[in-house]
Structure 1
Amino acid sequence: MADLIRETVNHLRDLPRYRQILTTLVRYGYQDVVSALHLDAIIRPIERAALGETPPVHDRPQRLRMVCEDLGPTFVKLGQLLSTRPDLIPEAYTNELAALRDDVRPFPFDQAEAILTKEYGRPLAECFASLDPVPVASASISQVHRAVLHDGRTIALKVRRPEIQKVVQADLDILKNLAQLAERRLPALGVYKPLALALEFERSLKRELDFTVELRTMHRCQQQFAGDPTAHIPFAVEEFSTPRVIAMEFIGGVSVDDLEGIRGLGLDPGQVAIAGAKILIKQIFQFGFFHADPHPGNLRVLPGGVIAPLDYGMFGQLDGRTRERIADLLAGLIAQDVDRVLKALDALDVRGDQVDPKALRRDVDELIHAYPELSLDAIDLSVLLRELVRVIRTHHLHIPPDLVLLIRSLVTIESTGRQLDPHFDIARQLEPPLRALALRRYHPIRLLNQSVRTAEDLQRIATLLPDLLSHSLESIKRGELNVKFDLQGFERLVKQLIRASNILAMGIVISGLLVASSLVLRVGPASLAYTGYAAGVILSLWLGWTMSRS
């Protein structure tokens, strides 16, 4: 009862925000969605009348992007998430939502100053030699100020927006309620599992709001790329980092899409593209922990061609088996092996509730044979992956979130690379790690480890099995455990067994009759022996006829 009252109070508290969201949807021509959810009554009549006078002029994907921009940080992040899900929405929408940027109006410096003072518990003059009140960048969740430490190091202070957590949580609650409504009132959306998507989005956004998660990600990347001269991971200043603030090295250099700036550093843009791709591929296939948003704004180029990834808020994670299955998928596409592709998709948990296997096989076969000569040197990987996602979406298959992030990262880094070099081909950079994964699978040490693990499992089973059987038998004796057999066609099996038993018994009788008649012929009356032979022959003929009918 208390939970019901609390939920009702929360809904009443969120009513103005509900009205704002629904009014915005109607303003941009999504009246059909509001009506389908039966939520028209929440919009005030005067607002509905005013909105009806201004028909939308943009196409539907553009209007969805405008809805996200108008509704603020949570919906900007939701639009960005949807832009990574071509398995859920058409390409026109993903392309439009990909244009959403976090560049928003900065909040006043006095609020940032108050947050920093509260987090550090002391005057800022004791922390920094200088602090620039003008933000370097401003995003939907945070903004960045440049500061100089007393030891002379220049750092970037990433400060979370004031009250953003409360705003985001209220929006997340509304989104989850709308998702539940959509599942009940829009059955066609059931295959896309709106509530599961809303919960996944909630988990992702809450992790992004907690800067300690981003800080741990930076530390992990520093360990992975320690000693790698091609990558530079900014250091973090632990003393001035909290759940609401990250203090990290200020990265200079030029943006990865600044061709003139790159040439000004004396670098070849094509080599910069290769270096950036190798860093991402190393993260994916060697570490299984990769930057999920490697767009140009998140990559800086330093002197010497060193790449410095920025923003560690969105990362994907793949275990060893998943990486091998991804390699199997790419190898199956290249070999034009339909069975291998389907098997790899199933192993990657790319599945659906109601799938037509024949239709899926046909579409995958058409996809891979649309390219007469597939090879890592010849294919356009981004096009091939988009086509594969189109097939997956057509058949309402579900893609695990990290696999979606992987596809997005590969497509994004290839697009960025081609801005630097029109002939850039990420598929060529994939060949060495794919070959290494294939060899690693059959490495003697790995095979030995697998054998040891298998032996350990067998030993554990052998140790547990006697006790398990003993307890089960005792439970059966005490009547605590009922064993139920459900054998399909059991009655038919019984009949067949009875017939076979009868035939066997008759065969024994005939054999005995013939043997007895032979004995009688030698020692007794011949007429009795011949009668026995005749009976045996008749029964043998009957038995043969019966067996032929069975």
Structure 2
Amino acid sequence: MPKLLPKNPLNFAKKQLGHGVNALSRLQKTASVAGLSALRVAKGDKMDAQLLREAFEQMGVTYIKLGQFIASTPSIFPREYVLAFQGCLDQTTPVPFAKIRQVLIDELETDSRGLGDIFSYIDPVPLASASIAQVHKAVLADGRQVALKVQKPDVDTIMHTDLSVLHGAFWALEKVVPNLKAASLAPIVDEMRARMLAETDFLAESAHIDKFLAHLKQVGNDKVTAPTVHHALSTKKVLVMDLLMGKSLIDESLIWDGTAGRDSKQIMSDVLDTWFLSLMMTGEFHADLHAGNLMLLNDGRIAFLDFGLMGQIAPSSLQACFGLVQSLQINDYRGMAQAMVAIGMTHRADKIDIDRLADDLQKILGKITPNAYGQPPKPVQIGAEGNDGLNAMMLEMVEIGKRHGIHFPRDFALLVKQLLYFDRFMVTLAPDMELFEGERLSLVKE
């Protein structure tokens, strides 16, 4: 909702002055961490990917997001850096509630409306905390329960300040990683800037939620939902949504034996059918749909949560991505090779030797695939630790593709890793189920 006037002009002026001070403080912290890292190198530590990750985590939000960008873009960054940043987790210590409350005041209060007119209660203990925001449970003045996703103080100032010096950071990276000299860095910086700033715009996230809910209504899907956004109370820094009650699909207290209507195979099928059809019809996909972002509601519906990370992929590459995952499932290396060429953004597809590419895939992936797909069912894990085999396969495919002149689309890694994650997720919830079957198989073949 657009703000009218600052409630307190003096406080507003102080806040604007504070932005300048915070930017200077941010530059000083960045320089301090960089200096300490340089001192470690001078004392004998190797300037490698692990040291860089440690420095990024110390510098906070922007560099954590940069690390995640590196981890999800194996087509650009060297293997050792992609691997090192796979464990760059976006989990941080919550900021004091007083600071969160101040953000709410700045964003929602006007001359005619105070925070107490909007909320009757806000739980000071957050439900979750990440680098950009934390989530609190609250009750509106009319008694409705909501979830507040509130951007942490000064995140926008920090990110803009950090992004302004990224060119300098890339200059340093070029010295450490000579392979980056051959890359065109300007588009990379632009891509990172766009992705990072998009995550600080909660109005953009609310638009993704609205689009998903509109899709569900259009196709008559009443088995799946997402939290409804309260647009009149949401801004770029505050996202107010209905509070959904239920349990994560990995909650150990859930009984997956068909009792109470909890049929794990049917639930998994509903999740996959919804995700696939949404992708085919809207052109975008939820790119972080791990089990922690899926909730079984008390009324039996499935909720998709957290639409902060979305991907897009051209229809011309979509079918080939599906074909690649199908080939991976059955160790069809020639099928993998053909799919990679179809996905790849290259003008020399007719010059690529499919048989040689297939041989290279078999030599490398043949050592990895059994570990990823041949193990007995085991509990699914959230995060990088549970995806080591899948990440290894993705990295190897990208590396092999590079050697054969194949360059992948921007969100290729996000899409294929999400598909592979579904495949692993099914091992726990529906081991006798196929990723591509029934309606999903029909969609893929269209």
Name which of 292, 300, 308 aligns with 1:297: 292
Sort the Cα spacing of 1:368 and 1:275 in 2 relative to 1 into closer, same or farther, 3 A.
farther
Bigger drift between 327-336 and 160-169 goes to: 327-336
Q: Map 1:104-503; keep pairs closer than 5 Å.
A: 104-120=92-108, 121=110, 122-180=113-171, 182-183=173-174, 187-226=178-217, 227-263=220-256, 266=260, 267-303=262-298, 305-327=300-322, 345-351=340-346, 357=351, 362-367=356-361, 387-395=396-404, 397-421=406-430, 423=431, 427-429=435-437, 432-439=439-446
- Deviation of the 1:123 alpha carbon: 1.4
Distance 2:25 2:148 in 1: 34
Cα distance change on mapping 1:424 and 1:72 into 2, 3 Å? farther
Q: Distance in 2 between matches of 1:384 and 1:92?
A: 14
Which deviations, in whole Å up to 9, do the C-alpha atoms of 1:323-381 show, x marking residues without a partner?
A: 3443565678779695x86675455443499x99556751234436988xx9xxx9999
Which SS does the other structure have where 2:120 is aligned? strand
Residues of 1 paired with 2:229 and 2:130: CA distance? 20
**What TM-score do you get using the length of structure 2 for normalisation?**
0.75
1:74, 1:124 → 2: CA distance?
A: 30
**Identity across matched positions, percent:** 27
Cα 1:259/1:18, change in 2 over 3 Å: closer
Question: Are the aligned partners of 1:146 and 1:156 in contact in 2 as well (CA < 8 Å)?
Answer: yes
Q: Give the Cα–Cα distance (whole angstroms) in 1 for the partners of residues 91 and 333 of structure 2.
A: 45
In 2, distance between residues paired with 1:167 and 1:214?
A: 20
Residues 15-47 of structure 1: per-residue CA shift (max 9 Å, x gap): 6345234235446x6x3xxxxxxxxxxxxxxxx
**3-state SS, counterpart of residue 225 of structure 2:** coil
Contact kept? 2:341, 2:406, Cα under 8 Å: no
Q: Whole-Å Cα distance in 1 between the matches of residues 207 and 290 of structure 2?
A: 21
Q: Distance in 2 between matches of 1:390 and 1:328?
A: 19
Please list every run of 5 or more consecutive structure 1 residues that lacks an aligned counterpart in the other structure: 1-10, 32-47, 440-550
1:20 correspondence with 2:48: no
Displacement after TM superposition at 1:96 (Å)? 5.0
How many angstroms does 1:318 deviate by? 2.8
Contact kept, 8 Å, 2:284 with 2:311, in 1: the verdict is yes
Cα deviation, residue 178, structure 1: 2.3
Question: What is the CA distance between 1:279 and its match in structure 2?
Answer: 2.8
Aligned to 2:150, the other structure's residue is in SS state strand
CA shift at 1:419, angstroms? 4.1
Relative to structure 1, the CA distance from residue 303 to residue 252 in structure 2 (aligned partners, 3 Å threshold; closer, same or farther) is closer
- Confirm or deny: 8 A CA contact 1:254 1:262 kept in the other structure: no
Shift of 1:255: 1.6
Stretches of structure 2 lacking an aligned partner (at least 5 in a row) = 1-22, 376-388
Distance, in Å, in 2 between the alignment partners of 1:126 and 1:321 is 51
* 1:283–1:291 contact (8 Å) kept in structure 2: no
Distance in 2 (CA, whole Å) between partners of 1:349 and 1:187 is: 24
Query: CA 1:154 to 1:404, structure 2 compared with 1: closer, same or farther past 3 Å?
Result: same
**Contact 1:364–1:391, Cα closer than 8 Å, also in 2:** no
For residues 269 and 84 of structure 2, what CA distance do their matches in structure 1 show?
27
Question: Is the CA contact 1:288–1:323 (under 8 Å) kept in the aligned structure 2?
Answer: no
Contact 2:138 2:147 in 1 (8 A): yes
Q: 1:270 to 1:23 in 2, by over 3 A?
A: farther
Bigger-Rg structure (1/2): 1
Are the counterparts in 2 of residues 147 and 157 from structure 1 also a CA contact under 8 Å?
A: yes
Instruction: Provide the rounded CA distance (Å) in 2 between the counterparts of 1:20 and 1:270.
Output: 52
The whole-number CA distance in structure 2 between the counterparts of 1:386 and 1:410 is 15
| 1:98 match: secondary structure | helix
Going from structure 1 to structure 2, the CA distance change for 1:86 and 1:425 (only over 3 Å counts) comes to farther
Secondary structure of 1:322's partner? helix
